[in-house]
Chains A and B, each alone.
Chain A
Amino acid sequence: MEIYESYVKQILKKNGVPIPKGGIAYTPEEACRIAEEIGGNAWVVKAQVMSFDRYKGKFQEEAAQELSGIVWANAPQAVAGITEQMLGRHFLSPEMQGVPQIVERVYVEEACHATAEMRLSLRIDFVSQNLVLATEFDGQQHSYTLTQKPLSMKQIQSVVRDMGWRDGDAKEVAELLQKLYALFVKYEAIAVEFSPVFKLLQGGFSVLNARIIFDTDSLFRYPDVAALQEFPRGREREAAAQKYNFRYTQLDGNIACLVNGVGLGLATIDMIHAKGGRVACLLDVGTEPTKEAVSKALRLALSEPSIDGVLVNIYGGITRCDTIAEGIISAAHEVLAGLPFVVRMAGTNAHIGRRLLFESRMPFVVSEQMDDAVTEIIHEVQEVA
């Protein structure tokens, strides 16, 4: 889970990480006022979107076409003008995977002049199943797998030496690394990244941009961070999924897939793709879904106009197929609307689940085998189309 840059900056400030002066603005007038308060003679206007590569992004509208997500201005009036151009417009960067976001606010920051620039990051690496610290400076990249925790001053000093920092600079960079590590631990982050960090012309270091990836499973310990989570327009489905405790992944086909478990989900997608179909979205209701969660997940999927059919593939272990069937029936009453709907059920209480579906007298195609079910849904969807 990620939060907007303006919130990340608040967290950095609270934890003693040096950042440029800045503030959040919802209108051009506010942006102008913030620029005046900050003072100086140059500012940066940063679109607040859920993306870390804003400088690579573009606005979709012609009126703001020449702007990226991060723009320099050399007068408070220019800050206001740029803000005016950004607000309400659709922004898209490579990281946003084709889903543009409307800019609703900007972050106005003092412009910084650098004599050197570096990147620091610490993350849980799911490949090595360990923590990995990475640095980038002066064209050199280093990466360290941390097996010893906590990170010792000695280790930090050797990382700083590897980067090539000496004397007073080395001391300041070591402090930054300590703070990066402290943030990672304090917020139980999946990743913390300071990128870029400037060595300022006037001396000292400043973190110009940072990203913290939070673990949704540990957010119960950080209600103040959880309160900062926002789902931009266009991603409301993910918000609903989180609320009802299932996982929603959007893809680009026309068959909605509901499964219990990520492995079975991926296998189902593989099979649909191999047989010539395309998956529109994957709904993973997990091990112990309630009837309401299943029903909500299906209604959510069917609210997408691109859907031409639904495949439910459940292998019940702890998951009870009868609960799934109840959820399916309650959703189908409202939204089925003649769409092809294939249900594969096997495992715990599958016979009860299948009987419930049959007794509902709704036009489900029920199957015991996964490949029969996949063949059937692809066939039916092709007939509809």
Chain B
Amino acid sequence: MSGFVFPTKETPILCQGITSEMGAVHTERAIAYGSRIVAGTSRDKRIRQFLDIPVYQTVKAAVRRHKPKISVIFSTPRRALADVEEAIKARIPLIVCTAEHVPLHDTLKMKELAQKYQVTLIGPSSPGIVVVDQLLAGNAPAHLFPKGNVGIIGRSSSLVYEAVQQLRQAGLGVSTGICLGAAPLVGTSFKPFLEAFLKDRQTKAILVVGQIHGALECELAEAYRKSRRKKPLIVYIPGISLVSSSKIPLMGTKTLVPAEIIKEKQALLKKAKAILVSAPELMGQTVAEQLK
């Protein structure tokens, strides 16, 4: 998974579940945004074409004809594993899984397969990736992202949109935005995208909207500290005011957040010279100060 490079408007995209309600709506939006959707799949055998896009029954058939480099998957939580597995085994290098409430053991299997086949899986419960003015792969509200030079990687989508609004109000914009998904287990961590942003010429600063749970920010901090390339890295972690209390809402898993992990995250990020945002309303302003 080393050397992730952001896709462009030329990158061919497959949409799995194109004829589903969500698939149809978001494929239309993606096309309107300029994404190059080259094929779709549907379990409905009668459908050969949809929105002028050729539709296949299997990912394999679509891959043989169109060689997509991204697959965006719209499926139910029950079908998500089978659909993701199909895309991984067809070796599509970038896969976006939008389904929410995917069983955790299914996510474990997805992660294992993605690693084995060396593909990048974003999600589950991810609205995908927006390369501003190039493409939308997923169901994020791309029209809300003004063009600019801040790269964003986040977990929970609504907080990423909040961050984008703050950037806009600070007179800034976004180069590329990615949501990894807010579920406790996700396909890909921050690290490959951090490395891509450090190389990306469009990007002058990186904003990470983290999560109180888990330790993906520790790995991020270490990767940033060891990297020879430097761009300002600004990190906001929501929920810090709850750390002393043991009730932290997380997807109903009753997992408590040990205070030591939060402290470790903050310490590692500080040691790596990342900038920690102290309050949620200051995300945009903090990035703006770094870009002055």
Contacts and interface: CB of A to CB of B under 8 A. Distances in A.
Given A1-B252, A129-B185, A271-B280, A263 B155 contact: yes
A124 B255 CA distance: 10
Nearest to B156: A263
Interface stretch (A161-169, A195-203, A244-252): A244-252
B246 A267 contact: no
B249 A347 contact: no
* Chain B at the A interface: SS class: loop
A221 B78 CA distance: 9
A126 B214 contact: yes
A371 B285 CA distance: 13
A49 B165 CA distance: 46
Contacts of B160: 263
A264 B156 CA distance: 7
A255 interface: no
B103 A346 contact: no
Interface stretch (B54-62, B191-199, B234-242): B234-242
Contacts of B108: 124, 131
Interface string A159-200: 000000000000000000000000001001010000000000
Interface in A117-164: 124, 126-129, 131, 149
A370 B280 contact: yes
A97 B249 contact: no
B241 A263 contact: no
A277 B281 CA distance: 16
Nearest to B106: A218
A129 B250 CA distance: 15
Contacts of A315: 158-159, 161-162, 165
Nearest to B185: A129
B158 A260 contact: yes
Contacts of A287: 100, 157
Given A126-B184, A126-B214, A370-B280, A263 B209 contact: yes
Contacts of A259: 158
A218 B103 contact: yes
A284 interface: yes
A267 B104 contact: no
Contacts of A221: 103
Contacts of A127: 214-215, 261
Given A213-B254, A269-B241, A317 B158 contact: yes
A274 B241 contact: yes
A270 B241 contact: yes
A203 B120 CA distance: 52
B156 A217 contact: no
Interface string B79-105: 000000000000000000000111111
Interface string B123-144: 0000100000000000111001
Given A126-B185, A267-B280, A188 B245 contact: no
Contacts of A185: 105
B215 A128 contact: yes
Contacts of A268: 280
Interface residues of B, number: 60
A1 to B, nearest CB: 7
A216 B102 CA distance: 10
Nearest to B25: A318
Contacts of B280: 267-268, 270-271, 370
A18 interface: no
A347 B141 contact: yes
A107 B213 CA distance: 35
Interface string B224-262: 000000000000101111100111111111110000010
A216 B252 contact: yes
A247 B281 CA distance: 24
A333 B252 CA distance: 30
B164 to A, nearest CB: 9
B144 A347 contact: yes
Given A269-B239, A370-B280, A215 B105 contact: yes
Given A263-B155, A270-B280, A274-B279, 20 more contacts: A127-B261, A129-B111, A129-B189, A188-B105, A213-B253, A249-B248, A263-B158, A264-B159, A267-B280, A269-B241, A269-B242, A270-B238, A270-B242, A271-B279, A271-B280, A273-B241, A273-B242, A274-B241, A318-B139, A348-B141
Interface of A: 1-2, 97, 124, 126-129, 131, 149, 185, 188, 190, 213, 215-218, 220-221, 242, 247, 249-251, 259-271, 273-274, 282, 284, 286-287, 314-319, 346-348, 370-371
23 contacts: A2-B254, A97-B247, A124-B104, A126-B213, A129-B214, A217-B103, A250-B247, A261-B156, A261-B158, A263-B159, A264-B162, A266-B238, A268-B280, A269-B239, A270-B238, A274-B241, A314-B158, A315-B159, A315-B161, A317-B127, A317-B141, A317-B161, A318-B139
